[in-house]
A = this chain, B = another copy of it.
Amino acid sequence: MEPCFLTAAAAAAQIREKTLTVEQLVRSCLERIEQRDRDVRAWSYIDPAYAIAQARELDKRAPAGPLHGLPFGVKDVIDTADMPTGQNSPSYVNHRPSKDAGCVAVVRQSGALILGKTDTVEFAAGGRKALTRNPHNFAHTPGGSSSGSGAAVADFMVPLAFGTQTGGSQIRPASFNGIYAIKPTWGSVSREGAKLLSAYCDTVGWYGRSVADLALVAEAFRLRDLASQKPVTPRGLRIAICRTPYWNKAEPAAQAALAKAAERLEKAGARVQDLELPSKFNSINEAQRTLMIGEGGVAFLPELLTHGDRLHAEFRDMAENKKGITAKTMVEAYDLAADCARTFDALFGDFDVVVAPAAPGEAPEGLHTTGDWVFNAMFTVMHAPCIAIPCTKGAKGLPVGVQIVGPRYSDARLLAIGAAVAPVIDAEGK
C-alpha cells in the first residue's frame, strides 16, 4: 500500500518501528497531491521541496511527540510562520504571519510536519467559497468552511488537517467527505492566531481517517482526562438517538444514516433509545446565529475600517450590524445557550452518548454552496464536543456520516466511546 493511504495512527506506528521514513510518507502524499489536486483543489499553498527538506530533518531526529513525522494540513485561516496565510481574502494574499498559531505550534512541537495550507471559505465566515471539490464527485461541494482540509484528508493527500467550527464547519465537511473529525469542547484548544468570527462559538478541531487518528492529535493537545480514560465496549453502552429539533431538515440519506447507526449499535449490544429534547432547544440554532453575526460584527470591524469597500459585502454587513441585532437579543442568546448546555449535560446521567445527524444528507451539487449546518450549530453553541463518524452512502453514492456528542469537557471519554462505536457505525468498508 502506498503510504499516503495509511491512517495517521498506522503511519505513526510504522515510523516508530522504522518500517517507514517520514520522507517516504511525505513523498507519497506529495505524489497523491500532484496526481489529484488539479481536480480536487484542496490546497492553497504547498512547497514540495520545503516539505521534503523538513521530512529529512525529522528522519534524523528522535521522535519529539505523538505526531512525529505525520504530515498535517492547516486551514488557511490559521497562522503559519513559514507559509502564507491568505484566508481566501483578497486583502491577505501572500500575507506572512510572524508566528505560528497556537494550535500549529502544538502539533509542530509534537512532531507533525506542516505540509501546506488548505483552501477555506473566506475568513471561515462567508464571502468567497473555496475552490475545492468533493473528491467523491467533483461536481459536489466538500462542505465548508474547512473545505480543503476535509477534501485533502478524504482524498489521501494528508492524514491529518485542522479545521475550525463556528456553526458546522468542521463536522459537516467530515460527513460530506466520508472521514472522521472532532470539534473539541469550546475553550480546550488554543485559538490564538486563528481568524476569529464568534468569540463564544469558534473552536479549532481536526480531521483524520480513524478515531485513533483524532486521539493522537488530542494527545498532543493534552485534552483533559485522556490518561485516565478506560476503554469502552459497545455492549451495554447507553445510546441516545437525537433527531434534534431540526429533523424536518434531514433528507432521506441523513434519516437512513441515523437509522442505520441505531440499528448497528443495537445489534452490537448497545442500549439504544430515542431522545426528545425539551422545547427550549427549539430556538437554539437562532441563538447560535445571533451570536455568530453579532460577534462577527466585532470581528470584522477592524477589517471594515482597514479595507473598506474591498471587504466582501457579507462582512461589511456584519460590521455595520445590517441585521439589526440588539443588546437584548445577544443576551438572550447567551443565556439560552448556557441554559441548554446545562440541561444537555444533565442528560448524561441516563445516557453515555448522543448520536445525531452530522449533516442534512449527501453533499449538495455545485460549488456555490457548502451545505447547511443546521445539525451542527446547536452543539457548537452549547460548547459540546462532537465526533463525526462515517456511516453510509446516499442515493448519489456520496458518503453520509453521523456525529456522536458528549457533555462539555468529556472529550477523552467521547474519543473512547468513538473508538468503540466507530467500527460498528462505519461498517460498510471503504
- Which A residues are closer than 8 A to B by beta carbons? 65, 95-100, 102-103, 105-106, 109-110, 186-192, 195-196, 199-200, 221-222, 224-225, 295, 298-299, 301-303, 305-306, 319, 321, 326-328, 330-331, 334-335, 338-339, 341-342, 345, 383, 407-410
Contacts and interface: CB of A to CB of B under 8 A. Distances in A.
Given A95-B99, A187-B298, A331-B408, 18 more contacts: A97-B98, A102-B301, A102-B302, A105-B303, A106-B305, A109-B302, A187-B330, A190-B196, A190-B302, A192-B195, A192-B196, A225-B327, A330-B409, A331-B409, A334-B341, A334-B383, A338-B339, A338-B342
Looking at A65, A200, A225, A305, the one whose CB has the most chain B CB atoms below 10 A away is A305
Contacts of A299: 102, 190, 192
B187 A295 contact: yes
A176 to B, nearest CB: 28
A114 B327 CA distance: 31
A298 B186 CA distance: 11
A110 B200 CA distance: 26
13 contacts: A102-B301, A102-B302, A105-B305, A109-B302, A109-B305, A110-B305, A187-B330, A192-B299, A224-B330, A328-B409, A334-B341, A335-B338, A335-B342
Looking at A98, A192, A321, the one whose CB has the most chain B CB atoms below 10 A away is A192
Looking at A65, A188, A303, A328, the one whose CB has the most chain B CB atoms below 10 A away is A188
Given A95-B99, A224-B326, A225-B327, A306 B105 contact: yes
Nearest to A202: B199
Contacts of A342: 335, 338
A199 B383 CA distance: 12
A106 B301 CA distance: 7
Contacts of A303: 105
A301 B383 CA distance: 20
A409 B98 contact: no
Contact of A301 (B190, B295, B331): B190
Contacts of A327: 224-225, 408-410
Nearest to A291: B187
A8 B353 CA distance: 56
B222 A200 contact: no
Looking at A225, A408, A409, the one whose CB has the most chain B CB atoms below 10 A away is A409
A196 B191 contact: yes
Contacts of A192: 195-196, 299, 302
Nearest to A224: B327
Contact of A331 (B190, B298, B306, B407): B407
A83 to B, nearest CB: 12
A319 B335 CA distance: 30
A338 B331 contact: no
A138 B303 CA distance: 41
Nearest to A196: B192
Given A105-B306, A299-B192, A305-B105, A97 B95 contact: no
Contacts of A326: 224-225
Contacts of A295: 187
A299 B192 CA distance: 8
A331 B305 contact: no
Contacts of A200: 187
Contact of A98 (B98, B188, B410): B98
Contacts of A335: 338, 341-342
B338 A105 contact: no
A189 B338 CA distance: 21
A109 B305 CA distance: 6
Contacts of A106: 301-302, 305
Nearest to A328: B409
Across the A-B interface, the 7 shortest Cβ-Cβ residue pairs? A338-B338, A327-B409, A109-B305, A105-B302, A102-B302, A98-B98, A187-B199
